[in-house]
Structure 1
Amino acid sequence: MENKKQFIRGIAVGVVITALVAGGVSFGSRALTKVSDEKKAESGELNLTSTAVEDKITEIETLVQKYYLNEIDTEQVENYLYKGMIAGLDDAYAAYYTKEEYQSMMDSTNGSYYGIGVEMSQNMTTGIITITRVFEGSPAEEAGLLPGDVIYKVQDTEVTGEDLTKVVSMVKGAEGTTVPISVAREGESDYLTFDVERRTIEIATVEHRMLDGNIGYISIASFDDVTVNQFLTALEDLENQGETALIIDLRNNGGGLVSSAGSILDRLLPEGLIVYTEDKYGNREELKSDAENYFDKPLAVLVNGNSASASEIFAGAIKDYGIGTLVGTQTFGKGIVQKVYPLSDGTAVKLTVSKYYTPKGNNIHGIGITPDVEVELDADVANAITIPEEKDNQLQKAVEILTEK
């Protein structure tokens, strides 16, 4: 089975490589077309429909049909051809999604799904997938999974290096079924395996409460479709309770929809630029806030190394405008934008299409955003599902800063 996987992946990668290094062999009446194909290759233009590529795929297909010993999963071979094309871009954020994977991704931003109640992030350099949040009362919490657990296997399949969306779709499934998940945990010498039940998970992306001193607290777990209304409702409730200052917690928020982050910033910022993007042609698109609303009370924003993408757009705008204090540790450093393009057969591709810049023109890709006040979270609570308020030294530092103002 492993040889089969390697062979299929070889076909996928081979398609892309062939497009780039197509040789000088001509095939009879196709010689003139071949010359044209070579010119495209020399110009750096992607040309996967060249006769050389088509002939090579046909040649490999003939050999597989004639000699390959094991049963062939034709759908899997086809999917890896498409995945290989995108993998050949050497972009960790680009991906091809099957119908099932695309639907899983859509579900994850629409509000509810059958899952186990965790949020995961992936280190795009190592491919390692880590649980960053376990929802209270979720099947994952009941089973014993913890933030900081590194996912090794899902359904007995190793997942390190796999596309995160694919791993999410593996975790999800029919309501009431169970999924075995093996993790590496700090302090444990062997992998731990948990059988976790899948249940309906309602995504509460925003939590809020009033802290001592009339300081409001809003935690945003991710920027999804439902997040904007949840945030505005939370902010209104805190203001009705007499909030005099606000803490927004973006720790472990891996991003999400830029439009949702922009809508929330529109409520907080004065009139002006929120973020702008530039594509490969230098075309610029701007997202702006209007003059209708802005937040004029003391503000602090909590960030850490898992605050990425849309979270960094948020934090970058707050910092550039100087309307709040960033507290915590250096953010992840994702300053590029991906767009998902649905295909005609229900599949989809995700491509990196532009770079984004903070209002002052900073692109933080590979760098991150440095907080105004750097505070490491105490190690004894770093992997807790919930951190008691009095033991959350980053939160307490933000309270201290706002109290002084």
Structure 2
Amino acid sequence: MYNGAIDSPSERSSMSKVHVQVLRMVGVAIATPILTLSTAEAKLENSHKALVDQAWQIVQEEYVDRTFNQQDWQEVRQDYLSRSYTSKQDAYVAVSKMVRKLQDPYTRFLTPDGIKDLVDNVSGGFIGVGVTVSLDPLTREWQVIETVADSPADAAGIQPQDIVVSINGTPTSEINPRQASEYIIGAVGSKVTVQIRRGKEFSRYKLVREKIDVNPLVYEVQETSKGKVGYIRMPVFTTKSAKAMKTALTDLEKQQVKGYVLDLRQNPGGVFDASIDIARMWMGKDRLISSVDEKGKKQDFFAYGPVLTNKPLVILIDEKSASASEVLAAALQDHKRAQLVGTPTFGKGVVQVLKSLEDGSGLVVTVAKYYTPKGKNINQIGIKPNIFVKSEEGKPFKPQPGQVLPPESDPQYTRGLKVLTKKLK
């Protein structure tokens, strides 16, 4: 898994909405073959240049920042088409470098395998070791933010806040953070060696990759002095999340819970549509979110009812709640449908789509900014909770293996319950 994801993931649909769209080759001029090349070699080089140019065209047509990070995008095209490419890998490297000029952490090139991994992630499953990593913006180190319960990483004892030093001997300082999944994910049964630093101690783990199925949510009833409360934890937004939420709410309503705690801590996002569909389960006919694309065109997303429950709701958030998590939390907070408890969120207020290139590779491109119902763009700012509560000893929240409900020592959950029970009759 990876942070941000399709929206993510999913992040997204991008790392908010991932739209897989196969594009036909646009009618672009291809440089005249170099005379010293054979006809076959010239055609091959032109196919590589065509791939580079197709990627350029996608950014030209779709990218939200029309200044292209103050770059002369036509000049960039001329530069990259004036070069010679002897292999598909050369073209891949060129496209990667070209989009990096945008200095957008979410716009990136993906190989065909990378696209498959991305689609698997937003579908709720992937092949890997069950660890989510994120680049620490201050230290520039890869930090573990979550391990999937019962995964190889979890079984080995890898923990949130661990630092990934190297993968298969390659220092992570030499790897683009957006390539993290390509290093960690691989064939079922294949092995990967990960070096971890925890404090001043270094450890090396040899892990075997396996199929990881990510449960879109877990839920359980919490007994309180005011009666039953439904606790729901969502680790990520996948294509299965909305259906799972509907099932959970239907079951919890049958158990006659009086209110809900929705835990979005450490949720990096995922499928944008899932966050919208879930928001509609809690709200009536209101505007949930708005997006504005590269042409300034605004699109509003509305709830249209009926809701599945009108009972009080508290949402737990933290600094790793991002993207689709923020869409859901902001919509419910702005309409006073829920109170947010925890720490400010990550701050990802942009939407990506996945565009396929002719050879099966592709680009994840930032195509829009989104705004909360009150007109706020939270990109690089985040959402402020109604009630600020730090996590235990400043450590990120980590679900306990085999347990759904957080422990009593969890200050954010404990405070959230207090806030909720005050609203219960």
TM-score by length of 2: 0.77
Determine whether 1:299 maps to 2:313. yes
Match of 1:246 in 2: 260
The Cα of 1:111 is off from its aligned counterpart by 2.4
Shift of residue 136, structure 1, vs aligned partner: 2.1
Please report how far the alpha carbon of residue 171 of structure 1 lies from its aligned counterpart in structure 2 after TM superposition.
1.1
Are 2:200 and 1:200 equivalent residues in the alignment?
no
Which residue among 331, 340, 348 is the counterpart of 1:317? 331
Tell me, yes or no, if the aligned pair for 2:146 and 2:398 is still in contact at 8 Å.
no
Aligned to 1:176: 189
Find the partner of 1:91 among 74, 97, 104.
104
Distance verdict in 2 for CA 1:118–1:291, change over 3 Å: same
Q: How does 1:6-405 map to 2 (within 5 A)?
A: 44-50=72-78, 53-55=80-82, 57-58=83-84, 74-123=87-136, 127-160=140-173, 162-185=175-198, 187=199, 189-213=200-224, 214-293=228-307, 295-379=309-393, 382=396, 384=398, 386=400, 388-405=406-423
Aligned to 2:39: none
Give me the whole-angstrom Cα distance separating, in 1, the residues matched to 2:297 and 2:189: 48
Is the contact made by 2:129 and 2:207 (CA closer than 8 Å) also made in structure 1?
A: yes
Relative contact order: is structure 1 or structure 2 higher (C-alpha 8 Å, sep ≥ 6)?
2
Q: 1:283-332, CA deviations, whole angstroms, 9 ceiling, x for partnerless residues? A: 00111110222531111000000011111111111110001110000111
SS in 2 for 1:346: coil
CA RMSD of aligned residues (A): 2.5
Q: Distance in 2 between matches of 1:193 and 1:149?
A: 12
1:163 Cα offset (Å): 4.5
Any conservation in 2 of the 1:326–1:371 contact (CA below 8 Å)?
yes
Structure 1's consecutive aligned runs of 4 or more residues displaced over 6 angstroms after TM superposition are none
Give 3-state SS (helix, strand or coil) of 1:191's partner.
Answer: strand
Offset of residue 161 of structure 1: 7.2
One-letter amino acid of the counterpart of residue 202, structure 1: D
1:384–1:281 CA distance, 2 compared to 1 (3 A): closer
Report the structure number with the largest CA radius of gyration.
1
Partner SS, residue 46 of structure 1:
helix
Structure-2 change in CA distance of 1:383 and 1:216 (3 Å): closer
Q: Which segment drifts farther, 118-127 or 368-377?
A: 118-127
Output the CA distance in 2 between the equivalents of 1:167 and 1:248: 29
**What amino acid does structure 2 have at the position aligned with 1:258?**
F
Q: Which moved more, 1:260-269 or 1:151-160?
A: 151-160
Change (3 A) 1:201 1:290: same
Distance 1:95 1:54, change over 3 A: closer
User: C-alpha offsets along residues 373-393 of structure 1, whole Å, 9 cap, x if unaligned?
Assistant: 000011186465528521111
Aligned-partner SS, 1:167: helix
- Indicate how the Cα distance of structure 1 residues 263 and 127 shifts in structure 2: closer, same or farther if over 3 A, else same: farther
The question of whether the paired residues in 2 share the 8 Å contact of 1:328 and 1:373 is answered with yes
SS of equivalent to 1:316: helix
**Which residue does the alignment assign to 1:24?**
none
Q: Compared with structure 1, are the counterparts of its residues 124 and 85 closer, same or farther at alpha carbon in structure 2 (3 Å cutoff)?
A: farther
CA distance 1:294–1:232, change in 2 (3 Å): closer
Paired-residue identity, %: 29
Deviation at 1:191, TM superposition (A): 2.9
Deviation at 1:257?
A: 1.1
Q: In structure 1, the residue corresponding to 2:232 is in which secondary structure?
A: strand
CA contact (8 A) 2:406 2:413 kept: no
Amino acid at match of 1:46: Q
CA distance in 1, matches of 2:352, 2:162: 27
> Structure 2, unaligned stretches of length 5 or more?
1-51, 57-69
Q: Counterpart amino acid of 1:257? A: V
What's the secondary structure of 1:121's corresponding residue? strand
Query: How far is 1:106 from its partner?
Result: 1.1
Distance in 2 (CA, whole Å) between partners of 1:134 and 1:278 is 34
**Distance (Å, rounded) in 2 between the aligned partners of 1:85 and 1:91:** 11
Shift of 1:118: 2.2
* C-alpha displacement of 1:45: 4.5
What TM-score do you get using the length of structure 1 for normalisation? 0.80
Distance apart, 1:148 and its partner CA: 1.4
Q: Per the alignment, do residues 282 and 243 of structure 1 end up closer, same or farther by CA in structure 2, a change over 3 Å counting? A: same
Distance 2:338 2:355 in 1: 36
Task: Give SS of 2:120's match.
Answer: helix
